[in-house]
Amino acid sequence: MATQTAIALTEINGPLTKIEIPIPEPKENELLIKLTATAIAPFDQKLRDLGLFGIGSRLPAVLSFDLAGIVEKHSPDLPASLAKKFPLGTHVTAQANISSPLGGGLQQYTTIDAQFTSRVPSTISDLTAALYPINGITSFAALFSTEGGPEHTNRGLGIPFTGTEGSSTFDYKNTQLAILGGGTRCGKLAIQFAKMVGIGTIITTASPSSFSELKQLGATHVVDRHSPNLVEEVRKVTGDELLYVYDTMSAGDLSLPASLLSNSKKGKLSHLLHGKASPQVLEAKKEGLESWQMYGASVAHPQVSKVFWDGVAGWIEKGLVGGGYKVIEGGLEDVKAINSALDGFRDGGFERWHVKISE
């Protein structure tokens, strides 16, 4: 069996190391791609150092789940429609399957699910395309999904996306949405998705240095995230009518996002990080509130994911912005730089690094 170079996690809380592993064969609905680029994210650091999701029982593991590459091979039973959509030689971007320990991007080849794949628009590079898979589907599902696993425990706010069930009667113009953490990559994408469907009031929080950019992306109101009167400032805009909040930042204590929601009507909160609101805040919600931690895996939101992956290339061509990044030019040979990028997240940094794997 042919082998390839990979940068893998071989022990929890240890550095990634270079190993040789087999080149996989594509199975049902899969494409084999030659990787050109991948992105290193905070989630990768938590997998490396903390062993989240029980990854320590599945070592070695290849991390980095935002992928870009070139289609090398189709699975034998790939539907004709997908084979036509992604012919050999097509540059594509996709989200790796976290349940596959060897499915990440820090290797020369991997397999991806063709159903959750997009072509790379001609207007951007493969390195830039790696901005969109995880952050894109996470924020898209956070706003529009009613799925989120068998028990729907990781669903989104359930706002219908344009052209989907319920959209013809949904009052987008008079809908209010608050996005906490508008300056994050997930926040910026969420603002753009909300503008895309025509939500009338898009309130976000950020540092003052980001106000102008976020208004250009589509926010109608921006509030200083450090303001001691943040709740009051948001409620000056919404009154007691806010029913939708997407929180990209709060961890542990979700009292702030919950406080923004209506006290007289049942609101919905989708949040990225684990936490809960205080009993005092919840007690004020006379009709209660619904709260879900978003799990941004395409497979958990199949209906919404199809809309996202079918549309994202066109949205990028029309100006969808994913954020900035720096490049590790040495690719898989520069293991030190890859570990250093992960160390940066461990030490509280926010710099995003993309790894150039091949041309």
pLDDT in tens, 322-346: 999 999 999 999 999 999 999 999 9
The structure's pTM equals 0.95
57-72 pLDDT tens trace: 999 999 999 999 999 9
d(CA 36, CA 358): 4
Q: What is the pLDDT of residue 148?
A: 76
The distance from CA 153 to its chain's CA centroid, rounded to whole angstroms, is 17
What domains does the chain contain, in order, with CATH numbers? 3-131+324-356 (3.90.180.10), 138-293 (3.40.50.720)
| Per-residue pLDDT tens over the stretch 93-130 | 999 987 888 999 999 999 999 999 999 999 999 999 99
Rounded distance between C-alpha atoms, residue 131 and residue 188, angstroms: 12
Token digits for 274?
């684990």
Instruction: List phi, psi (to 5°) of 207.
Output: -75, 150
pLDDT at 232: 97
Q: At what angle do helices 335-346 and 42-50 cross, to 10 degrees?
A: 90
> Which of 48-52, 152-156, 257-261 has the lowest average pLDDT?
152-156
pLDDT at 150 exceeding the cut of 70:
no
Which percentage of the chain shows pLDDT scores above 70?
A: 99
E-strand ranges in the chain read 3-8, 17-22, 30-40, 66-74, 91-95, 109-113, 117-119, 176-180, 201-206, 221-224, 244-247, 252-253, 267-271, 275-276, 289-293, 326-328, 353-356
d(CA 338, CA 353): 8
Could you give the C-alpha distances from 204 to 115, 235, 249, 268, in angstroms and in order?
32, 12, 12, 16
Average confidence (pLDDT) over 295-322: 96
